Amino acid sequence: MPGRLANHLCRLLVISLAMLSLCFMGLIATAQTPTPSPSPTTPRRPLPKPASGARGFEKFAGRDASDRLIAAGATRQTVNPRHPVAPLEGRAYEARPFFAWEIAPGSKSYNFAIYEGDVDQNKSARLVYQTDVTATELLYPNIAPRLRPGVLYSWKVSTRTSGGKEDGSAARFTILSGAEAAEVRQALATAGLSSPKTPADRLDQARVFENYGVWYDALRIASELAENPNDKDAQAFYEALLLKLDAEPDQ
């Protein structure tokens, strides 16, 4: 009996020593294995820009960025009721532009009207579409007459008053066509942004439009993304886009 117990204890001792040896070897191997260094942050890919530089953000005279009503925050004073939040003569890529204008205090609705040609220069310019809206923005609807690339259009909003109506300033724009449209299309394809899937990709797409001076599409995307209060990048881009409209033109 004592002999068998001694043999059993000897076997246990051998097994224990073997396990301790394996653990010690594992510790040595772990100590010798170099800790992988964190992978460097992938740099942001450069977005395409036209060789001639951005254009198309010429502002309205007398606008002041510090007093602009910004839809995302809606906290700033309004000094230009019904004025288009758009360049004096802007550009759009899609045939359904996004229009925005400054609020007219006390107004419950706005009449939006778009004309073929410059309605300021030609009071008899053909009315293409008009509608009443309660908001200070409008995405050109599918049911409206299709806008044609390369044609000059103008638009404005008006509000009803006790004496009739008051008109805001008119803004002009064109839908890109020909070589200009092809240039922007190629830029989006080169950046892999023809069909963006994520909010980050959509924001990059808006930046490409900004780079090419395509105000209406850049503003549409920025406005939609800035509705998310957690998307600080989109909100910052939206504000910067509006400030760029008010920047003094290059001399």
Torsion of CA 201, 204, 210, 215, to 10 degrees: 20
HSE-CB at 151 with a 13 A cutoff on CA atoms is 14
Per the DSSP assignment, residues forming a β-bridge with 115 are: 127, 154
Strands 152-161 and 164-167: antiparallel
Positions of the chain with pLDDT under 50: 1-10, 12-15, 17, 20, 22-24, 27-31, 33, 37-42, 60-78, 249-251
Q: Would you state the pLDDT for residue 106?
A: 87
Checking 99-103 for CB contacts under 8 A at 24+ apart, the result is 99/137, 99/138, 99/139, 99/140, 99/155, 99/216, 100/71, 100/136, 100/137, 100/138, 100/219, 100/223, 101/136, 101/137, 101/157, 101/168, 102/68, 102/69, 102/78, 102/136, 102/168, 103/69, 103/78, 103/136
Q: Which residue type occupies 231? A: D
Q: Would you state the pLDDT for residue 239?
A: 93
- Tally Cβ neighbours within 10 Å of residue 7: 10
Q: Where are the domains of the chain?
A: 65-246
User: pTM of this prediction?
Assistant: 0.73
pLDDT in tens, 111-149: 999 999 999 999 999 999 999 999 999 999 999 999 999
Q: Would you state the pLDDT for residue 79?
A: 57
State phi, psi for 226 to the nearest 5 degrees: -70, -10
Question: Tell me, which fold does domain 65-246 have in CATH?
Answer: Immunoglobulin-like (2.60.40)
CA–CA separation, 136 and 99 (whole Å): 8
